[in-house]
Amino acid sequence: MIDVVVIGGYLGSGKTSLVNHLLRTGTGRSTLVLVNDFGAVAVEPELVTASDGELLTLANGCVCCSLSSPLIETLVALRERADRPELLVIETSGVADPEPIAHHAMIPGFRLAGIVVVADAETVRARSEHALVGRTVQRQLTAAGLVVLNKVDLVASAERDRLHAWLAIAAPSAVVVDAQHGEVPVALVVGPDLATATPGIGEPDDHDHPTDHDHDHPADHDHDDHDHAATDPHRTITWRAGGPVDREALLAILGDVDAGIVRAKGVLTFADRPDRQEMVQVVGRRVHLTALPDRARDTAADGRLVLIGLPPHFDPAALEAHLHTTRAE
Amino acid sequence: MPTTIFVARKVVTMHRSNPTATAVAVRDGRVLAVGTVEECQAWGEATIDTTFADKVLIPGFVEAHGHTMDALVASFPYVGFFDYPLPDGTVAKGVKSYRDMLDALRAADAELPPGQTLLANSFDPIYFPDEPRLTREHLDLVSTERPIYVRHASGHLATVNSGLLAKEGIDRDCPTPGVARGPDGEPNGELQEAPAMSLAVDAFKVTSRAMFDPRVVGIHAELCRNAGVTTSTELVGGMLIAPQIEDAWRAAAEAPETPVRMVLYNMPSMPGSSADHGAAADAAVALAQRDTPKFRNKGAKLVLDGSIQGWTAVLLWPGYITGTDHGQLLMSPEETVEAVRAFHRRRLNVHAHCNGNATAEMFIDAVEQVLAEDAWLDHRHVVQHSQTTLPHQYRRMARLGLAANIFSNHIWYWGDQHASLTLGPDRARGMWACRTALDMGVPLSLHTDSGVTPIGALSPMWCAVNRVSYRGDVLGEHERITPYEALHAVTVGAAHQLHMDDEIGSIEPGKRADFAVLDESPLDVDPMAIRDIGVWGTVVGGVVYEAPRPGSTTS
């Protein structure tokens, strides 16, 4: 199954900056990025291993192209390919409603790993009231699980606070992270990598070095965003369920504003459906559950849930204790 | 240099200085002279062709907004409401009731090998307001074994039977949004939007747009010939998105047996994604340099919103009278300006799909801004569909040099629904405002959006002249235009919008010898009889193409 992240946001909000940041940093997984405007892709030439004008292949496992047929047809063809990626990132157009686009990720072969909407701190409020495009901007924010509030350096801190208060209503399902130049920890956008998560409570920045997992990558490579990642205040924990969990109890925790969860991903079995595994993906307060077909049974990740959050709301020890209470008898 | 003189009962030229004639001389595929046989003989030796001695020749109809996808409407069992013409000259009968539809499906079922999925096309629930929603229970009356997939005319829905649900494993646990459910929580057979429709894997693969497949050109051209159309515009051309198809399309259009000139307005990107418009416009300039007589690439097609009957067009206040407003803006105002600017600077015109008056306003604003930067006065950018454009907008369009291509066929096909379900009777009378456009001085064309309604100019003319709906109501008598104005719109008017009025659109010395061969002149018959005029066939570049005449119907 291919994880799908949808990146939306109005024209000029910084979607392209975020996508370029993803492409440069890599995701640690084989990734296809369907960009809205191929001409706007900007990565350093030394990262590129192949380019034919319509398809760009990067050393970090990312491949980038734009749509040349309807999205649904692209996805139906993609899932049949032997070289299909593990992760698909879809950058939408500036006026797209990301919600119906995310529905494309809920067909067999795919699972939705979140809707990320980029908002321009300087203009998003005015845009949301614009006679012609206001409704479009409102729909984008409504659909978001994660809002990347971009260009925060261009507004005063009081205005930033007002924006956060406003977004709590305008983007009711979203967690908001501040950003400049579209640069946010990659794991917040694409979700944590279950394959490399280790149980316990991680260090502040230990989820943000996906290229470390790329064995082809030179060990001494100097990360562009190293300084940025080192000061990343987010924390990560990996919780082991140890058996079936209670669905309602878990969903209540994952949807709780005060838990401070930005991103979570795991493979769990719920007590009401002990016959199957379900992939749990959380972005902000949006929880996406996908039943895994038997052939996709993931024994390695079974019963593990990786959570990324922002202190002080995100209290790893308290959260672990809280999660333990969801274990079914 | 051989010259042929075609003799006709009447030649209607749409050329003011010689409005009618009885003969046309043709040399090298172009009109040499128009007048009497004697006048034409002034050019020397000529063969006299009397094939059309009892026919009327008019300029070949120019379709300035069609789609070659109409070739696919006819490729599956047809369950649309209105009769649909087929390339062999027969007609697929429309279904007027659920019983008709089930009969049509049973007939198709009887002809298919066991196990093969039965696909039917063009069902439109808007015409069956008194029937319950179509569900698997209806289709199960045809078969519960054979998978059945009925695609709706909107392209946004399909209804399937229990056999198909079982085959594809679509059950109550299916997580895909758009799988509609009955009160019992089981799928009721309705699959809404592309992700849910794609669950019917076999059917989806067959019906999903064989996008840009050159094989549709030949079938589309036959439909054009049968309707008197000699130039047809594919308004969602794919040459910029999929440049690798160019050679195959040119070969299909240039084949001697293809009876139509194809004009393409190409999309700079897939609808719903953005493009580097400067690069796209550069590519369009290069494309146009490779034009051949029957394969022409022009400017850009932009899609700015959805449809009115789908409630996805973007309207100014007060919006839709019933139904939820699902208005979908498909390009931002900023991107619209960028796209118009890029093509305008390269002297290529832009055709923008604006069903709603809010998107018409956005496009007019964009043209105004670009025109102030760059004074190409004869740009002829076109508001396409222009179904709800308002008088003040036509006034601006006239000042700014914009043209309108109005989807007048809606008056007959959906006029009743617009009066009752979308805009209400008062504003429905002001839709397709052809009279207003002409009186304000906006150059006008009329189109079919072929694939949505059948290709051919007589029906759009009939609608613009009579404004009669399917139910028989006159919808907006004050917006009627005359038969002459309507004929001008589908010949010279359309050619003008394509920047081809120096070449086609009238029967005039120097222009291409493109004629529609009719039984009667649309200017001479009772206006209510315009759409019933028989079409013998066409002449394209002096080559005669006769339409088949089986005189029978199939379903």
Residue range B156-179, pLDDT digits in tens: 999 999 999 999 999 999 999 999
Name the band, by pLDDT with cuts 50, 70 and 90, for residue B552: very low
Cβ(B458)–Cβ(B465) below 8 Å: no
B282 interfaces chain A, CB cutoff of 8 Å? no
CA-wise closest residue to B518 among B462, B465, B458, B464: B458
CA-wise closest residue to B264 among B280, B250, B279, B278: B250
Name the band, by pLDDT with cuts 50, 70 and 90, for residue B230: very high
Mean pLDDT for the stretch of residues A107-127? 96
SS (HEC) of B487-524: HHHHHHHHHHHCCCCCCCCCCCCCCECCEEEECCCCCC
Of residues A136 and A205, the one with the higher pLDDT is A136
Of residues A11 and B554, the one with the higher pLDDT is A11
Q: What is the pLDDT of residue A233?
A: 85
**What does pLDDT average to over chain B?**
95
Mean pLDDT for the stretch of residues A22-49? 92
Q: Which residues of A touch B279 (CB under 8 A)?
A: 39
Inter-chain CB proximity B273 and A70 less than 8 Å: no
Q: What is the pLDDT of residue A52?
A: 84
Q: Write the ipTM.
A: 0.87
Residue A210 has pLDDT above 50, yes or no: no
Residue A211 has pLDDT above 80, yes or no: no
Q: Which residues of A touch B306 (CB under 8 A)?
A: none
Nearest to A132 among B176, B201, B358 (CB): B358
CB contacts < 8 A, A to B, total 100
Nearest to A106 among B177, B276, B329 (CB): B177
Cβ(A237)–Cβ(A319) below 8 Å: yes
Please tell me which residue of chain B has the smallest CA distance to A11: B332
A106 interfaces chain B, CB cutoff of 8 Å? yes
Dig out the tokens for B502 from the structure: 């120096």
Distance CA A264, CA A287 (A): 9
Give B419's DSSP letter: I
Instruction: Read off the pLDDT of residues B81-116 as tens digits, 9 standing for 90 and up.
Output: 999 999 999 999 999 999 999 999 999 999 999 999
Inter-chain CB proximity B274 and A76 less than 8 Å: no
Inter-chain CB proximity B204 and A76 less than 8 Å: yes
Distance CA A293, CA B180 (A): 22
Residue A117 has pLDDT above 90, yes or no: yes
B362 interfaces chain A, CB cutoff of 8 Å? yes
Does B318 sit behind a cis peptide bond, omega within 30 degrees of 0 on the bond before it?
A: yes
Cβ(A15)–Cβ(A189) below 8 Å: no
Distance CA A118, CA A149 (A): 6
Q: Which residues of A touch B273 (CB under 8 A)?
A: 36-37, 66-67, 92-93
Among A19-23, A77-81, B322-326, B413-417, the least confident range? B322-326
Mean pLDDT for the stretch of residues B244-248? 94
Q: Which residues of A touch B332 (CB under 8 A)?
A: 10-11, 94-95, 133, 136
Q: What is the pLDDT of residue B554?
A: 45
Distance in Å, alpha carbon of B272 to nearest chain A alpha carbon: 6
Q: What is the pLDDT of residue A202?
A: 62
Distance in Å, alpha carbon of A68 to nearest chain B alpha carbon: 6
Among A216-220, A247-251, B13-17, B448-452, the least confident range? A216-220
Nearest to A107 among B199, B276, B330 (CB): B199
Among A119-133, A283-297, B422-436, the least confident range? A283-297
Residue B194 has pLDDT above 50, yes or no: yes
Instruction: Read off the pLDDT of residues B426-464 as tens digits, 9 standing for 90 and up.
Output: 999 999 999 999 999 999 999 999 999 999 999 999 999
Dig out the tokens for B29 from the structure: 């595929």
Distance in Å, alpha carbon of A226 to nearest chain B alpha carbon: 32
The model's pTM: 0.90
Distance in Å, alpha carbon of B340 to nearest chain A alpha carbon: 17
Distance CA B198, CA B191 (A): 9
Q: What is the pLDDT of residue A198?
A: 66
Longest Cα separation, chain A = 57
Inter-chain CB proximity B208 and A72 less than 8 Å: yes
* A residues 145..204 contacting B (CB < 8 A): none
